[in-house]
């Protein structure tokens, strides 16, 4: 067919970059024999009791829409979970919205609060959808770099320096995809002070918080004065290994949840009922399974970080998430050439750091959501590849 229909595509959509990860993975998909450290999802199957809850719900004929905000039983569980784990108190009736993953929650949060031309501060390297989601909400993304020297934590001084008139939102994510960086309480306190001073709304994506290996995770929403200016986002995909259930949630002040609800009810309507039933079970009884998976990730993290450093690739130890972010600068190659060469010569897939924004240049993302044994095999091959490069 001809490209005739091309002119119907909206300008701001035409301008969006294709996902760097997608491009890279279409190459990987054609190589089933390759070892992939590229995936951004758990290698574990959803714990059985959670799957069973969805099966029971289906057997009972639960096939309807739910309340736009989500099942009230789920919202109550979410409210209890967030209070117990993050120390923030939300009313299940008015302050909690169940969405189709954190992806949808993020999208409707941005669309509910941004006017055309508003500016959004976000830190980079970051999850691939942040900048496009801001653009799709007709706003302007302003990237703030993070660096290996700070172990990819957010530096409040850099956020302050990047601020300009018109900034309305500050987006945070830690533990961070792709770097595993976390931001300590003292830095968060300074960011909170800045957000209050500049009257910023914070959208805080805490999807990896259960996978924090060192120190305590602190949510910015729990700091004094911040709950009323924070939309807290969380979900089930990562810690509960429930990516395919597509379920996440937003907690926040009633007016903002109401605004998000308006967007949600005219787009998604509600999250799938079977996934909501499974999520209730996850929150009620999922903690032991989460702890077991976390233990595996922790062991694999220590292995992969050690192996990268032994191979001559400088790699900080990620304090959370299931991603390592080694520097590939010692090889003299740029991120994409390094990753393409590794795939061609040793059949190991890692993601070029630049897929997560320009400040990912000189790095690659390697996910440790794959078995210990495969990490050993993959890192042996990486070492061989780096060795060959050093001899060229
Ligand atoms: N936020 C971050 C930081 C992520 O890394 C991801 C997925 O990789 C998401 C959100 C999307 O999560 P969900 O599956 O809940 O849509």
Tens-place pLDDT, residues 119-131: 999 999 999 999 9
**Which of 25-29, 199-203, 255-259, 331-335 is the least confident region?**
25-29
Tokens found for residue 382: 């990486």
What is the per-residue pLDDT across 281-309, written as a single tens digit (0 to 9) for each?
999 999 999 999 999 999 999 999 999 99
Total Cβ atoms within 10 A of residue 30: 8
Question: CA nearest 183: which of 144, 150, 141, 142?
Answer: 150
**Which of 23-27, 310-314, 333-337 is the least confident region?**
23-27
The DSSP bridge partners found for residue 203 are 171, 231
Name the residue of 122, 127, 130, 178 whose CB sits within 8 Å of the most ligand 1 atoms, as the mutation to test its pocket: 127
List the residue whose alpha carbon is closest to atom 8 of ligand 1: 40
The confidence score (pLDDT) of residue 18 equals 72
Q: Torsion angle, CA of 164/120/360/315, rounded to 10 degrees?
A: 100
CA of 207 to the centre of ligand 1 (A): 7
Decide: 103 in ligand 1 pocket, CB within 6 A.
yes
Which helix (H) or strand (E) element contains residue 201?
Answer: strand 201-205
The arithmetic mean of pLDDT across residues 145-162, rounded, is: 95
Is residue 25's pLDDT more than 80?
no
What is the per-residue pLDDT across 80-104, written as a single tens digit (0 to 9) for each?
999 999 999 999 999 999 999 999 9
The confidence score (pLDDT) of residue 39 equals 86
How does the average pLDDT of the chain come out, rounded? 95
The confidence score (pLDDT) of residue 20 equals 63
Is residue 159's pLDDT more than 70?
yes
Going by pLDDT thresholds of 50, 70 and 90, the confidence category of residue 267 is very high
Please return the burial class of 88, using the count of CB atoms within 10 Å of its CB with bins 0-12, 13-18 and 19+: buried
The confidence score (pLDDT) of residue 307 equals 97
The arithmetic mean of pLDDT across residues 158-177, rounded, is: 98
Percent pLDDT > 70 in the chain is 99
Question: CA nearest 142: which of 99, 198, 181?
Answer: 198
- Measured CA to CA, the distance from residue 120 to residue 139 in angstroms comes to 7
What ligand 1 atom has the least distance to the C-alpha of 248? Answer: 15
Cβ atoms 92, 75 nearer than 8 A:
yes
The confidence score (pLDDT) of residue 72 equals 98
Decide: 133 in ligand 1 pocket, CB within 6 A.
no
- The ipTM of this complex is 0.99
The confidence score (pLDDT) of residue 224 equals 97
Name the residue of 20, 40, 46, 103 whose CB sits within 8 Å of the most ligand 1 atoms, as the mutation to test its pocket: 103
The confidence score (pLDDT) of residue 15 equals 84
Mark residue 215 as left, alpha or beta (left: phi above 0; alpha: psi -120 to 50; beta: remaining).
Answer: left
List the residue whose alpha carbon is closest to atom 2 of ligand 1: 127
- Measured CA to CA, the distance from residue 140 to residue 142 in angstroms comes to 7
Topology, domain 4-46+288-391: 3.90.1150
Decide: 102 in ligand 1 pocket, CB within 6 A.
yes
Topology, domain 48-285: 3.40.640
Decide: 179 in ligand 1 pocket, CB within 6 A.
no
The confidence score (pLDDT) of residue 392 equals 76
- Measured CA to CA, the distance from residue 37 to residue 359 in angstroms comes to 21
Which helix (H) or strand (E) element contains residue 338?
Answer: helix 335-346
CA of 236 to the centre of ligand 1 (A): 9
Tokens found for residue 105: 């929650």
What is the per-residue pLDDT across 211-226, written as a single tens digit (0 to 9) for each?
999 999 999 999 999 9
The confidence score (pLDDT) of residue 26 equals 79
- Measured CA to CA, the distance from residue 40 to residue 336 in angstroms comes to 18
* Boundaries of every domain in the chain: 4-46+288-391, 48-285
Decide: 209 in ligand 1 pocket, CB within 6 A.
no
């Amino acid at each position: 067919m001809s490209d005739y229909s091309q002119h119907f595509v909206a300008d701001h959509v035409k301008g969006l970059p294709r996902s760097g990860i997608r491009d890279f993975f279409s190459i990987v998909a054609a190589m089933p024999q390759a070892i992939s450290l590229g995936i951004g999802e758990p290698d574990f199957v959803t714990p059985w009791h959670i799957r069973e809850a969805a099966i029971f719900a289906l057997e009972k004929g639960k096939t309807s829409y739910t309340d736009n905000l989500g099942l009230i039983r789920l919202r109550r569980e979410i409210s209890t979970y967030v209070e117990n784990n993050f120390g923030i108190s939300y009313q299940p009736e008015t302050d909690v919205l169940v969405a189709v993953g954190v992806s949808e929650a993020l999208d409707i949060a941005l669309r509910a609060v941004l006017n055309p031309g508003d500016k959004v501060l976000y830190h980079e390297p970051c999850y691939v959808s942040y900048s496009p989601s801001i653009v799709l909400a007709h706003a302007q993304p302003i990237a703030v770099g993070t660096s290996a020297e700070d172990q990819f934590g957010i530096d409040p001084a850099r956020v302050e320096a990047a601020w300009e008139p018109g900034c309305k939102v500050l987006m945070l994510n830690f533990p961070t995809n792709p770097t595993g960086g976390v931001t300590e309480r003292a830095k968060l306190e300074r960011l909170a002070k800045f957000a209050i001073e500049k009257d910023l709304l914070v959208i805080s994506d805490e999807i990896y918080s259960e996978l924090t290996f060192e120190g305590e995770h602190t949510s910015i929403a729990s700091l004094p004065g911040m709950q009323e200016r924070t939309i807290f986002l969380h979900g089930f995909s990562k810690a509960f290994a429930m990516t395919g259930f597509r379920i996440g949630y937003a907690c926040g002040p009633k007016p903002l949840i109401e605004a998000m609800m308006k967007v949600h009810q005219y787009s998604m309507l509600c999250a799938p009922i079977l996934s909501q039933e499974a999520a209730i079970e996850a929150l009620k009884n999922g903690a032991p399974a989460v702890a077991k998976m976390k233990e595996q990730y922790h062991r694999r993290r220590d292995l992969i970080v050690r192996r990268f450093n032994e191979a001559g690739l400088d790699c900080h130890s990620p304090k959370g998430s299931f991603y390592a972010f080694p520097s590939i600068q010692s090889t003299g190659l740029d991120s994409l050439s390094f990753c393409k060469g590794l795939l061609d010569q040793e059949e190991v897939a890692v993601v070029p750091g630049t897929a997560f924004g320009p400040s990912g240049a000189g790095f690659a993302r390697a996910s440790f959501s794959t078995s210990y044994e495969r990490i050993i095999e993959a890192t042996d091959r990486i070492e061989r590849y780096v060795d060959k490069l050093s001899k060229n």
